Each structure stands twice: as C-alpha cells, then as structure tokens.
C-alpha cells in the first residue's frame, strides 16, 4: 500500500504540467502561440511530451504502475477478509482484565442464564456471538469447564476499505476506457445551418486510440434559433438553442438544449458551450452578379461585450484566382464610434455595427498550406497578393462601394452556437465507481471493529455468578463510554431477569 500511495503522489505531480501548460488535446492554437512566444523553451518541452501530458509515455507508465500496485494490494487483502468473514470470533483471552476495557458483574443468576442475558444484549447491538466451554485445571489436580462468550462486529469497516480500493481500480479502468473509446468534437453552427457527426466537419476533434471514423454515431444536428439572456450587469444568465436532430436524410426531431441541459442520444451528448454573432452581407458585382446574406462566424475577443473579429472569404466572386474577394472585420453587437474607432458597449444586439476592410487578390486557399477560416492569411497581404481596396464602418442597411463598382451591404446578423459533441462510454462507470469510493470511504470512517468477551464463573458461597466482561476496539480512543453504556445495560438486564416475579393469584 505504501508503494501505491507513492505512485498516487507521483501521478498528482505528473498532472501538474497538464494544468500549467497548454495541451494539444484542448487547444492546438494555444500550443502554437506558446511556440511563438517561447521559441527556445517550447521545443524542449515538446520533446518531454509536456504539451501532451495525459497521453505521454511517462504518464501512462505511472498510471499503469499505480493500477498494478492497487491490484497487488487489494486482491490479497480481499481474500484474507473473505476468510475472516467465515471465521468465528476468537476465544476469549485467559485474563480479561488485561484488555483496555474490562469489568466484573455479580448476579444471582446461574452462569448459563447470565451468559444468555449477555448474548441477547449483544445480538441487539448486531454482534456475531459464539458460545464456548473452556476447560479449567486447578492446583489440586481437579478439572472442570467454564462457559464463555466471544462476540465481534464491524467487519464492514474492512469491507469498506476494500470497496474503496477496488472502486479506485474501477475508476482507473473507467477513465482509461473513456479515453480509449471516447471522442469529442467542437464546431460553430450558425442559425439555419446543420452539421453531421463526422470528424471532417469539426473545428477541433480528438478521439481515443481505438476509435475509427466509422465508429462515430450517424446523427445530424441543425440549429434553428439561439437565445441568450443577460443579468442587469450584462453577465450571461442562460444560453438556449432550439435544434433538430436525427439520422442523415431525416427531417429531424425538435428539442431545446442549454448549457447544463445537453442533448443525450445513443450514448452521445451535445452541449452548448458558448455563442457569438455571424454578420451577414450582400455582395453585388458591377456586372450584376450578387450573393445575398452570406455570413461567417466572428469570434468574440471580449466576452463582456461580445466584440468580435472574423473574416468572410469569397474565392469564387471574381473571374480568376487573382480576383478573389474577402472581408476582414470587427463586429459590435451594440456599437459606439469614438474618434472613428468602433467599439462595443453591450453584448446584446441593440445597435449592431461592423467595421470592415475589403481585400481583393489571391486568398491562398488552394496553396496547400493550412490557414484559419476565421482570419485572412497575413502572408498573402505581406507579399502583396491580397490588397486592400476599401474600408468603412457600417450599420445595418449601409453599404461600402469599392473602386471597381462592387458594393458590400451590411444586412444584419445571425447568432451562432458553439456546440460540443462528446462520446464517453466510461462516464456511467466513472459515476458508479465514484459513488462506490464514497461509500467505501464512509464505511472506513464511520464503522468500528469491536470485540466483546464474557466469562461466567460460579460465585462461592451463595450460588450466584461472577461475570467478567471485556472489550477491545481497534483504532478508536473513545471506547470507554461505549463500554460503560454496555455494562450499565447488562446490569439492568441481569437485575431484571434475576428479580422475582411480582403479583400472585388472589385468594
């Protein structure tokens, strides 16, 4: 058990870098930013798997060693405890006065009746009781027997200890199973859009080592309407999304989900983790070609006011690859312009405005290099392949006219929901193991292992009995009050049984 405690401590230490450093499983962009900010230190940390702590070989080694150590500790103790449960309480010691709590009780009852009284009192207290006859020998050479009693309770304390440690093993197995067979994906869905549970559609996706693409549940989710409510201090109080869900090709069944009220279907869960705005634009070319109400999610840069930044890319608007079109902008749900600079003062869309910069040229979408869908490729702008052709602050209904006659009209906004699709087959088992851990811990802390011994001997002279009673409590320093209460109850019970019956038959 000492080894298991050391390994548990090492596991806690090993998890510290996972909370201090960005992890690829949670945010690859944060890891990339760390490499940018610390170009010398980051590669060294990466070689030590400190950006993938929970999937690193050294973390798995500590995890597995802890697992093996727990099994090695628990199984022998479980077998020993099973044998102890089938074993009767041990015989009483020869000298009961050596035990921490002992007393002598005198009674007029014969020895057998006195022990019957003790047995009844102990069984009421849920002790296991065994009666025995002990052989006696005297210095004169005569021999005889004396009756004695052994009782014990509190075996569930050790059972709770074993349940606690076995539940820890189960917890480790459940967590490992969830990691191996679970997956999680996040995506931004604008009102009116629909997505299906396919790893290609997610903005971020992570899965266990034993999960394949075909293992994902075939389900599609569409976002109808999103509502956000705010307190008087403009902090968000609730997010609610009206969605439809069903198998691919189906119309879908309607339901409503919230932050703490996910959609649960076929072992999967769909959570609302955040929201934002997707400004909509109508772009009209000089030749009359027009794209109506096209939108793109703008990511919040200020959670208090939901001021957001984003980009809208239209690679097919122009005639060729060097005539592509894009907007990069700043969206304010409740805009306020000061000195020509647009800011947001309220997360509610009371007066939506947008500051846009229009670009024409080559977006680099087919260059083979990855780029964010929420911003333009700065390298294309630096090389002059993407040039600015206009900028303006727009309210709803206002337009920006570019030098070539193209007009960009800000037509409004849609809200988007940040949805998280999670599948964790070990979740129920983790809950069951956690409950078992708590139950076992309560058993360890609240139950006591106690033994009580009693021996009855004839009292010389009057035919009465001297009853020796002693108790032994493991790991408890407050046994004296309980033993005193037991002996007081025994005196009362012995006196009641020894008292002559009252009343009689009337003459």
E-assigned strands of 290-385? 290-295, 299-302, 307-314, 324-332, 335-338, 341-344, 353-361
- Nearest-angstrom CA–CA distance, 357 and 375: 12
Residues 92 and 75 in one domain: no
> pLDDT tens digit string along 437-477?
999 999 888 888 899 999 988 877 667 888 899 998 876 66
Tokens of 272: 């609302």
> pLDDT tens digit string along 26-45?
766 678 778 888 889 989 99
Residue 57 in domain: yes
> Which CATH number does the domain housing residue 148 bear?
3.30.310
Residue 501 has pLDDT above 90, yes or no: no
Q: Do the beta carbons of residue 297 and residue 374 sit within 8 Å? A: yes
- In the chain, % helix, strand, coil (3-state, to 5) comes to 35, 35, 30
Angle 57-86/155-181 helices, nearest 10 degrees?
150
Domain extent for 310: 279-412
Nearest to 358 by CA among 376, 374, 372: 376
In sequence order, the β-bridge partners of residue 343 are 336
Residue 140: pLDDT band (50, 70, 90) is very low
Per-residue pLDDT, 161: 86
> pLDDT tens digit string along 205-249?
888 888 887 788 899 999 999 999 888 888 888 889 999 999 988
Residue 507 has pLDDT above 50, yes or no: no
- Please count the structural domains in the chain: 3
Residue 134 has pLDDT above 80, yes or no: no
Per-residue pLDDT, 476: 60
| Among 387, 412, 437, residue at a domain's last position | 412
Residues 71 and 102 in one domain: no
Tokens of 211: 């999960």
- Nearest-angstrom CA–CA distance, 336 and 358: 21
Geometric angle at alpha carbon 354, from 28 and 383, rounded to 5°: 55
Tokens of 380: 């294309």
- Nearest-angstrom CA–CA distance, 309 and 301: 7
Residues 392 and 457 in one domain: no
- Nearest-angstrom CA–CA distance, 373 and 312: 8
Tokens of 283: 């772009």
Asked whether the whole model's pTM tops 0.75, one would answer: no
Altogether, the residues listed in the chain come to a count of 507
Distances (CA, A) of 22 to 28, 30, 32, 386: 8, 6, 9, 33
Residue 502 has pLDDT above 70, yes or no: no
What mean pLDDT comes out for the span 350-371?
89
DSSP class of 499 = S
Residues 11 and 46 in one domain: yes
């Amino acid at each position: 058990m000492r080894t298991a405690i050391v390994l548990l401590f090492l596991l806690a230490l090993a998890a510290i870098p996972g909370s201090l450093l960005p992890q690829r499983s949670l945010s690859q962009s944060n890891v990339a930013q760390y490499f940018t900010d610390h170009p010398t230190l980051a590669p060294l940390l990466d070689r030590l798997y400190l950006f993938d702590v929970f999937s690193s070989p050294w973390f798995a080694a500590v995890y597995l060693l802890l697992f093996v150590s727990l099994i090695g500790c628990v199984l022998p103790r479980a077998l020993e405890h099973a044998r102890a449960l089938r074993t009767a309480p041990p015989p009483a010691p020869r000298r009961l006065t050596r035990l921490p709590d002992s007393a002598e009780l005198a009674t007029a009852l014969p020895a057998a009746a006195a022990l019957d009284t003790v047995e009844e009192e102990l069984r009421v207290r849920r002790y296991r009781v065994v009666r025995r006859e002990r052989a006696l020998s005297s210095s004169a050479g005569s021999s005889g027997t004396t009756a004695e009693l052994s009782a014990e309770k509190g075996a569930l304390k050790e059972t709770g200890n074993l349940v606690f440690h076995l539940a820890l093993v189960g917890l480790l197995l459940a967590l490992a199973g969830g990691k191996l067979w679970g997956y999680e994906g996040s995506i931004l869905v604008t009102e009116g859009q629909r997505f299906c549970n396919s790893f290609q559609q997610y903005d971020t996706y992570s899965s266990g080592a034993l999960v394949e693409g075909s293992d994902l549940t075939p389900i599609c989710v569409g976002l109808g309407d999103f509502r956000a409510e705010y307190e008087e201090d403009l902090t968000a109080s609730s997010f609610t999304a009206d969605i439809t869900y069903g198998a691919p090709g189906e119309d879908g069944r309607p339901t409503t989900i919230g932050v703490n009220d996910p959609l649960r279907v076929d072992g999967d869960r769909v959570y609302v983790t955040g929201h934002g705005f997707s400004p909509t634009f109508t772009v009209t070319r000089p030749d009359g070609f027009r794209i109506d109400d096209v939108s793109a999610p703008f990511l919040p840069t200020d959670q208090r006011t939901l001021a957001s930044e984003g980009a809208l890319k239209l690679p097919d608007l122009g005639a060729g690859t060097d005539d592509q079109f894009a907007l990069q902008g700043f969206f304010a749900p409740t805009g306020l312009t000061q000195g020509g600079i647009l800011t947001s003062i309220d997360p509610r869309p009371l007066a939506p405005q947008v500051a846009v910069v229009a670009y024409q040229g080559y977006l680099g979408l087919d260059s083979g290099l990855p780029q964010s869908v929420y911003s333009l490729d700065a390298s294309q702008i630096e090389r002059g392949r993407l040039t600015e052709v206009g900028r303006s602050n727009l309210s709803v209904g206002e337009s920006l006219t570019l030098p070539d006659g193209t007009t960009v009209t800000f037509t409004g906004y849609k809200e988007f929901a940040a949805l998280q699709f999670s599948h964790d087959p070990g979740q129920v088992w983790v809950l069951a193991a956690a409950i078992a851990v708590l139950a076992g811990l309560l058993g360890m802390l609240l139950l006591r292992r106690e033994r009580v011994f009693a021996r009855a001997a004839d009292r010389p002279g009057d035919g009465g009995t001297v009853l020796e009673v002693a108790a032994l409590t493991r790991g408890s320093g407050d046994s004296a009050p309980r033993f005193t209460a037991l002996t007081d109850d025994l005196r009362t019970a012995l006196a009641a049984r020894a008292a002559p019956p009252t009343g009689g038959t009337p003459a």
